[in-house]
Amino acid sequence: MSTVTVAKKDFKAARRSKLLWAAAIVLGLIAAFVGYVSGGASGTDTEQVRALFRVLTLLLAVLLPIVALVASYLAIAGEREGGGIKFLLSLPNTRRSVFVGKLLSRNGIVAGGIAFMYVAAISVALTRHGAFPAAVVFGTLLITLVYGSTFVSIALAMSSAAASRSRAIAGAFGTYFVLVILYVFPVVSFGDIARWLHTTLLGAGPNPDLYNAVQYTSPYLAYRKAVNLVMPAEMRQIVFYSSLPEDVSYGSPAANEVLPLYLQDQFSVVVLAFWLVVPLAIGYALFERADLE
């Protein structure tokens, strides 16, 4: 059984999940609803469609990690606890083919949910506005697919390290809380912690750029910044405020350029690439060394 065969078998098994189907339907309904509501907004038809997809990315920044984690956190841990991993490895399979096959299938499932949501949004946009800003639509679609893949990578890495479903579930919830919730509701942010360590513990002077750099390690913020790369200047999301000089307005095109390179929108590609590659490397190493007996 090759990597492709493992991926096909896993994809067929996972797509029967009622929870995943429910998540895909909910995402599609949300996209259709946002598209319908946007019909009353001001601006040209093209501007309204761009605004629609901007709102969708804000929603996906919070909701998509849930879908990706739910779709992937039991990919290997579930097989280990249920004994299916022994069957997979009893055939002419290597651990690499199982790991890569699971990665391909779970990415395919998440990509299918994203595509379903975008089809719903595009359909409503064309029906109500008759406009199709291809650069924004396909640009945000590509970035969203990458964003979803980052959480698939994270979940698969945790699934490789977990020997039971309970540990995999705990890891998924913990990951979502640390990488998303703490940024959506920043009661105490990692930037605040860095500021306290830097100014109070070390006694150094304030450095907002340093604290923002600590914040920027989140794939959630990286996704929001990456969306700016395909949006018009007037629709860009300004994530880091404290680093801007007083003579630069938050919504101006210069708001990104005046930031240090490691805080600019372009650096989001590096952050997302990190979360795509590093968790997979760690997860695969742990899976290779795991005792599956």
For position 275, what pLDDT does the model report?
A: 95
- What are the residues whose beta carbons fall under 8 Å from the beta carbon of 217, sequence distance 6 or more? 190, 271
Tokens of 83: 């004994």
Separation CA 132–CA 115 (nearest Å): 16
Give the Cα separation of 100 and 81 in Å (integer): 19
Q: How does pLDDT run along the chain (293 residues), one tens digit per residue?
A: 578 777 788 777 766 667 677 777 887 788 777 777 765 556 688 888 888 899 899 999 999 999 899 888 888 888 777 777 777 777 677 888 888 888 999 999 899 889 988 988 888 888 887 888 889 999 999 999 999 999 999 999 988 888 778 888 888 889 999 899 988 887 767 777 877 787 877 777 777 778 888 888 899 999 999 999 999 877 887 777 666 666 666 556 666 777 788 888 899 999 999 999 999 999 889 888 877 65
Instruction: Cite the DSSP H helix spans in the chain.
Output: 3-14, 18-37, 45-72, 77-82, 84-90, 95-128, 134-161, 165-176, 182-184, 190-196, 208-215, 219-227, 254-257, 268-289
| pLDDT for residue 39 | 54
Token pair listed for 229:
């790369």
What residues have CB less than 8 Å from 284, skipping those under 6 apart?
A: 96, 99, 160
> Which pLDDT score is estimated for 245?
66
CA nearest to 160, candidates 176, 149, 171 = 171
- Indicate the domain borders of the chain: 3-184+275-289
| 115: Cα separation from own chain's centroid | 15
